Amino acid sequence: MNKNNQIPMQVTPLNSALPLRNASFNTLTEALEYAAKGDTGYNFYDGRGDLSSVLSYKELRVEAKLLAGKLLGLGCRRGTRVAIVAETDPMFHRFFFACQYAGFIPVALPAGFQIGARKAYVEQLERMLDSCGADLAVAPESHIGFLKQAVERLNLVKAGTPEEFDSLSKTNISMQPLDENDIAYLQYTSGSTRFPRGVEISQNAVMTNLRDIAVHGLRISESDRMVSWLPLYHDMGLVAFVLLPLGSQLSADYLSPRTFGMRPRLWLKLISQNRGTISSSPPFGYALCAKRLRLTDQDRYDLSSWRVACVGAERIHPEPLRQFSHVLKAANFDAKAFVACYGMAECALAISFEELDVGITSIQVDKDSMSREGLVKPLHDKDADGLNSLTFVDCGKILPSFEMAIRDDAGNDLPDYQCGRICLRGPSVMTGYFQNPTATDESLSKEGWLDTGDIGYRVGENVIVTARRKDVIIVNGRNIWPHDLEYLAETLPGVRFGNVSAFSFADDAGSDQVVMVVESRESNPAKVRSLINELSGLISKNFGMACHIDLVPPRTLPRTSSGKLSRSKAKQDFLARLEVIDNDTQVISANA
């Protein structure tokens, strides 16, 4: 008993006591109606790792329907957009599914912001609210001040806290839940901070993707339990750890991204104590965890239950994963649990998965052939070194509902082992960018083919992602992948994984300048110069080109709403610092 003489909260159990149905439903409300017959649900943990809230699917069904009736009483039309500041809290799930029952479209807005960037965060919220045409908006008490500022110039029907919406009177208007042809939700892409693009995902699209993930990607069974710290406003956090466990009647355990950032070891603790089997992270999450671990920590955890550790990113580098598995081997983490995957919001979430129980498959290819022709020539280990090779990770076989094509800039299909634009077609592909026909036409053909914006190559039905097209650096006709430049910096002492951004820009003479912005705590002028010279030498040796190194203080590099570094914003910030380009095209920045 607790001090208030109440029965202590209990986490929802492993088994739902229902026959497993892996997302075999037409809509999200159908999935919830079925899951609510069982015993599983969502569990929320606080900054100390203690259980703070429990929301079973049974309770969620009751509370979502009650809230839906209150939302309908506001007189909004069917299809009204409801913006939800997506803190890791039961309120998000309640409002998301209340929209499903009311026939409204939920829109998850970011809940994270960088210290000192409050004004930018408010402006981001305002742009997203305006872009989606929201009539209703809700934020927890921690974020309501920001939301109220963001809606000052907008004409919303109501914006408030969950408690303000809960205090509304229930209406007798009959509910008409969203059907399989309706939009299920709008998902803002992680880079959509300045020019928001809300991805339209239909009920049919998300349910198809959930089935693909559950059956073919993860092979979910009744004995699975999911654990996550990912933000709920990101596609991986929302689809993989809110909608997927519901669709497969699994329990899910949550830490907030803020808690993970401060105490990443709690992630491992939660997996260990609750016997979690499925959890995911971008590479930087595994790197952060490995960095914060002590040797004595290994005895605290038993990670033998963790059978699927998904790794998703625009391009996956294997080194931080090796470090993670090495540090946690004594805690029974199996490196074969790593599953490389590829996905994006425009396809609900997942596009491909590597086979289970094989771990990360690294591929070394000839650097010169790749850079000059986009032709992939695999190398044997004895022929590969840092000077003549590049390393990529196989993201596995595309899910069965997709067609894939690799195309050149003229739209011609390319053969295996030839880099080009990754294009996809299938029922999980978005219907478009909400109220943005220009952006939709740029990405989605009339035949239904989505140009993902990614560069990669195929080997049969497997896809290997090499870069975002907009990020590729072109020097003297060679394609340079920014990840490879960034990885060189990360091999040096004092440079942290994920704290480097490489890009290029055209100077006044039209020449391409390559820049690498590196976060560093080093302040000694001699050591600063030594680090710059060492890194410049490495780049010259490995890539045969000059690169300006811009050392900046920690927390300078901008990140997207999902926590990834934003190269485009890093480039904007660098150009803002730029003072002069001398006759030798040597870039000199304001802080050099």
Q: What's the pLDDT band for 402 if we cut at 50, 70, 90?
A: very high
Structural domain including 540 reads 472-589
Burial code (b: 16+ CB inside 10 Å, e: under 16) for 330-351 equals: ebebbbebbbbbbbbbbbbbbb
- In this structure, what token pair is assigned to residue 497? 């994984």
In a domain, residue 12? The reply is no
Residue 364 near residue 386 (C-beta atoms within 8 A): no
In a domain, residue 395? The reply is no
CA dihedral 408, 414, 416, 420 (to 10 degrees): 10
Residue 403 near residue 440 (C-beta atoms within 8 A): no
In a domain, residue 542? The reply is yes
pLDDT at position 587? 38
Gap between the Cα atoms of 134 and 74, Å rounded:
13
The SS3 call for residue 284 is helix
Domains: count for the chain:
2
Q: Where are the alpha helices (DSSP H) in 216-274?
A: 235, 244-247, 257-262, 265-274
Largest CA distance in the chain: 77
Half-sphere exposure in the Cβ direction for 232 (13 Å, CA)? 30
Pairwise pLDDT comparison (514 vs 98), residue with the higher score: 98
For the chain, what is the mean pLDDT?
A: 90
The SS3 call for residue 40 is coil
pTM of the model: 0.87
In a domain, residue 579? The reply is yes
Last residue of a domain, one of 237, 255, 273: 255
Gap between the Cα atoms of 332 and 330, Å rounded:
5
Owner of token pair 């690498």? 516
Looking at the chain, the whole-number percentage of residues with pLDDT higher than 70 is 92
Residue 440 near residue 433 (C-beta atoms within 8 A): yes
Which domain CATH number covers 83? 3.40.50.12780
579 has a pLDDT exceeding 60? no
Query: For the CA atoms of the chain, what is the radius of gyration?
Result: 24
Residue 536 near residue 549 (C-beta atoms within 8 A): yes
77-81, 207-211, 249-253, 509-513: range with lowest mean pLDDT: 509-513
133-142, 245-254, 556-565: range with lowest mean pLDDT: 556-565
Q: How far apart are the first and last CA of the chain?
A: 61
pLDDT at position 524? 86
Q: Where are the alpha helices (DSSP H) in 89-117?
A: 90-102
Q: What are phi and psi of 17, to 5 degrees?
A: 70, 20
The model's pLDDT over 280-324, given as tens digits with 9 standing for 90+, comes to: 999 889 988 988 887 777 788 999 999 999 998 767 888 889 999
Which domain CATH number covers 497? 3.30.300.30
Gap between the Cα atoms of 380 and 412, Å rounded:
30
Residues with Cβ within 8 Å of 574's Cβ and at least 6 positions away in sequence, in order, are 503, 515, 517, 550, 589
548 has a pLDDT exceeding 50? yes
537 has a pLDDT exceeding 60? yes
In a domain, residue 107? The reply is yes
Gap between the Cα atoms of 578 and 589, Å rounded:
5
Q: Where are the alpha helices (DSSP H) in 293-380?
A: 319-327, 367-373
Residue type, 592: A
Residue 393 forms beta bridges with which residues?
362
The model's pLDDT over 105-141, given as tens digits with 9 standing for 90+, comes to: 999 999 976 655 788 889 999 999 999 999 999 999 9
Question: Which burial class, exposed, middle or buried, applies to 536 when counting CB atoms under 10 A from its CB (0-12, 13-18, 19+)?
Answer: middle
Q: Which candidate, 24, 405, 403, 343, places its Cα nearest to that of 201? A: 343
In a domain, residue 81? The reply is yes
In a domain, residue 317? The reply is no
DSSP 413: B
C-alpha angle 574-576-581 in degrees, rounded to nearest 5: 75
